Amino acid sequence: MKDKKFNLYLLLSAFFIGNALLAELSGVKIFSLGKVLEGIFARGSGHSYEFLPLNMSIGVVIWPLVFITSDILNEYFGRAGVRKVSFITAVLIAYSSVFLITANKLPPADFWLENNRIGSAGGSFDINYAYTAVFRQGVNIILGSLTAFLVSQLIDAYTFQYFKKLTGHRLLWLRATGSTIISQLIDSFLILFVAFYWLGNWSLDQVFQVGMLQYIYKVSLAVLLTPLIYLMHWVIDRYLS
């Protein structure tokens, strides 16, 4: 337990798994980025702004932290280290999904329904329906997310090491950003295609619109967060002496 490299792998893996699970559980909500931007630009300006219907999954917001952590794991522990934590994460995502499906099937307690039958606006409120709607985990979402996660992570790990062989220990930004550009192109569209088009009711236009926005967001943030990767690299090098 005093081994520095073991503790580093434990810490990075926990952060990786925690953010992946958080993104998975929150990702069922599709939010309007256009409305967020309208609020930001219109505040105090006296003008109204209209943006395109920019929509994406809420889980994508923190997903860049997952692949940044994946790149750091790859840098210090190689493809084997990334594969190990990726498969553990996939098992835990499947486990949490099965648990939520089971939880939604269990009958609610009468006093729980009674104590929460009035909503904040004074109208009737069905808390069990709200719980089920929020934590709804369909088989299509489980299959789509697991497929996209494993495929993109394995491609990211391979691409990162390929760039590392070409550049050695130089150009960390190239292997980190390059692997993200390739792997997230697959991740952004594969989960939507499997979960919402192939097994769901989305049109290809909706898949392309949401997938493209999510891909642009991931790649843009990966570029903006490049200094963070260098900072983490510097801190870890000092920690490992």
pLDDT of res. 96: 86
**Which token pair is 16?**
């990786």
1 CB-side CA count, 13 A: 0
**pLDDT, tens only, 61-83:** 888 888 889 889 988 998 899 89
Q: What is the average pLDDT value for the chain, to the nearest integer?
A: 84
Q: How far apart are the C-alpha atoms of 39 and 147, rounded to whole Å?
A: 35
In a domain, 180, yes or no: yes
| Sign of the alpha-carbon torsion through 40, 46, 47, 50 | positive
Q: Decide if 163 is inside a domain.
A: yes
- Tell me, yes or no, whether 130 lies in a domain: no
Residue 56 lies inside a defined structural domain of this protein: no
- In the chain, the number of structural domains is 1
* Residue 92 lies inside a defined structural domain of this protein: yes
pLDDT-derived band of residue 107, with 50, 70 and 90 as boundaries? very high
In a domain, 233, yes or no: yes
Q: Is residue 110 part of a domain?
A: no
Q: Please state the length of the chain.
A: 241
β-pairing verdict for 55-57 and 30-32? antiparallel
Of 101, 77, 128, nearest in space to 25 by CA: 101
Q: What token pair was written down for 170? A: 């130089």
Band (pLDDT 50/70/90 cuts) for residue 238 is very high
C-alpha triplet 61, 98, 111: angle, nearest 5°: 95
Q: Give me the DSSP letters along 147-168.
A: HHHHHHHHHHHHHHHHHHHHHT
Domain that holds residue 86: 4-25+61-105+136-240
